[in-house]
Amino acid sequence: MVSLPDSQMSSSNRIQRSLGRSMRTIRSNIFNSEPDRSPDPLPEAMDNMTDSFVDLRLRELAEDIGYSASKSASAAAATDLLEVSRDFSDFSSFNSDISGELERLAAISRSDAPVNSLSDFGDPESENLDSAPLEAVEPVVRACVESLTPSAAAETKRNAAARLRLLAKHRSDFRELIGESGAIPELVALLKSTDPAAQESAVTALLNISLEEGNKAAITAAGAIKPLVYALRTGTAATKQNAACALLSLSMIEENRPKIGASGAIPPLVSLLVNGSNRGKKDALTTLYKLCSARRNKERAVNAGAVAPLVELVGERGGGTAEKAMVVLGILAGIAEGRAAIVEAGGIPSLVEAIEDGPAKGKEFAVLVLLQLCADSAVNRALLVREGAIPPLVALSQSGSARAKHKAETLLGYLREQRQEGGAAPLSLAR
């Protein structure tokens, strides 16, 4: 097997190709009437990653994808990727305490009797807060805020944050009440606590409070972004997951996205994507997706090493993991650095395999990302041909969805033009 020169492939990517990928190259050579003299494609890591990030909130996250492309063809590909991501996100959901708290509390039995008082608030999990009247909650919230003052004992602060966390989980009017109570600055101060339990409760309380739209600006104004990044770097696994989600919630305010990136959030999010639990990987990817609508954050994500794990995730099967990873790769392909990193990480062979073996929706995502990689790059087109992309692209152009057919035909057109410019025989679409 021919390898790329050292100048075109990092030593970390010198990984043996799988048999299937080698066979695609063989088929490609048979398919073309003349041998292509372009370099052999970049190999990719095939390490299996665990299933991650079901229920992504792609509908809202897709609104500000913000691709930049130098040609109308690549711009059209970016627009279609946005449309596909919106279509794909119809099933998505986003709830308070997204990192598992709801599942934990769902197992707790609750009484159907209405709650008229919260005077016995020692065990937050024992309360049926769904039916509690707002006037019964007001004194509890005031007591919690008073317990969060700097002079309070550490255990008192921890318990108060835990109670606010639970209250903010249940109802919008509770979140609004807490936002107006003065609790937010005290919870922000607790984000740098050396008590892991207190830090986790403060992070999660702010996440839940932030789901009330009017509270996002108040949390930002209280200076929460940098302390949340600190919690993302230093907290427990659950703290990191919920800090990522809290930053995601704040990033719904467009002007917060550059601030979050500038505050150092991208590297720990990439670390969580690589090293976190299944849920942590999901939370990290979702937050990266939203933040990378800002160009500077795209650059930060590429520099922080986000591309390689995303390319690996393209090989995941089941749960929509691969498709979602391709959406994020499509965002990063909006800048030159992102396109180069995707190719270097073995993105082209991975995307070709997705077109060949993936589900219908994944094929659409893959061809749209490949269009961005190849629209302005003869080198990438040559790599695509050498990787054996022509047969699966021809198949997709004949049997895919209307959008997939159109984009596959567009990409085949690029490959045909390149062969004609290079003096090769015309590209046949016969199978």
- In the chain, the percentage of residues whose pLDDT exceeds 90 is 52
* Distance separating alpha carbons of residues 98 and 351, to the nearest angstrom: 30
Instruction: Say which residue, 69 or 286, is predicted with more confidence.
Output: 286
pLDDT digits 0-9 by tens, 53-73:
223 333 333 333 333 333 445
Rank 69-83, 157-171, 257-271 by mean pLDDT and report only the highest.
257-271
| pLDDT at residue 18, as a whole number | 40
**At 278, is the pLDDT very low, low, confident or very high (cuts 50, 70, 90)?**
confident
pLDDT digits 0-9 by tens, 330-341:
999 999 999 999
Instruction: Say which residue, 388 or 317, is predicted with more confidence.
Output: 388
**Taking the mean position of all CA atoms in its chain, how far away is CA 396?**
27
| pLDDT at residue 128, as a whole number | 62
pLDDT digits 0-9 by tens, 118-177:
333 434 443 466 677 888 899 999 999 999 999 999 999 999 999 999 999 878 999 999
Rank 18-27, 48-57, 189-198, 407-416 by mean pLDDT and report only the highest.
189-198
Tell me: pLDDT of 320 over 70.
no
| pLDDT at residue 421, as a whole number | 61
The SS3 of residue 53 is coil
pLDDT digits 0-9 by tens, 196-213:
999 999 999 999 999 999
**Taking the mean position of all CA atoms in its chain, how far away is CA 89?**
13
| pLDDT at residue 148, as a whole number | 95
97-210: CATH topology is Leucine-rich Repeat Variant (1.25.10)
Neighbours of 6 (CB within 10 A): 9
| pLDDT at residue 273, as a whole number | 87
Instruction: Say which residue, 220 or 32, is predicted with more confidence.
Output: 220
pTM across the whole model: 0.72
Please report, as a single letter, which amino acid is at residue 266: I
CATH code: domain 13-95+258-431 is 1.25.10.10
Tell me: pLDDT of 286 over 50.
yes
Instruction: Say which residue, 409 or 18, is predicted with more confidence.
Output: 409
| pLDDT at residue 369, as a whole number | 94
* Distance separating alpha carbons of residues 18 and 14, to the nearest angstrom: 12
Helices (H) and strands (E) in the chain, counts: 24, 0
* Distance separating alpha carbons of residues 321 and 181, to the nearest angstrom: 40
- The reply to whether 13-95+258-431 and 97-210 are identical in fold is yes
| pLDDT at residue 322, as a whole number | 77
| pLDDT at residue 324, as a whole number | 79
Contact predicate 248/290, CB 8 Å: yes
| pLDDT at residue 96, as a whole number | 42
Q: At 40, list the tokens.
A: 């052999």
Average pLDDT, the chain: 75
Contact predicate 168/178, CB 8 Å: yes
Handedness of CA 267, 269, 270, 274 (dihedral sign): positive
| pLDDT at residue 76, as a whole number | 55
* Distance separating alpha carbons of residues 357 and 370, to the nearest angstrom: 16
Question: Which residues touch 407 (CB under 8 Å, ≥6 apart)?
Answer: 77, 80, 364, 367, 368, 371
* Distance separating alpha carbons of residues 298 and 58, to the nearest angstrom: 17
Domain-wise residue ranges, the chain: 13-95+258-431, 97-210
Tell me: pLDDT of 262 over 60.
yes
pLDDT digits 0-9 by tens, 346-372:
999 999 999 998 888 889 999 999 999
pLDDT digits 0-9 by tens, 299-312:
999 999 999 999 99
Task: Give me the mean pLDDT over the 318-332 stretch.
Answer: 81
| pLDDT at residue 203, as a whole number | 97
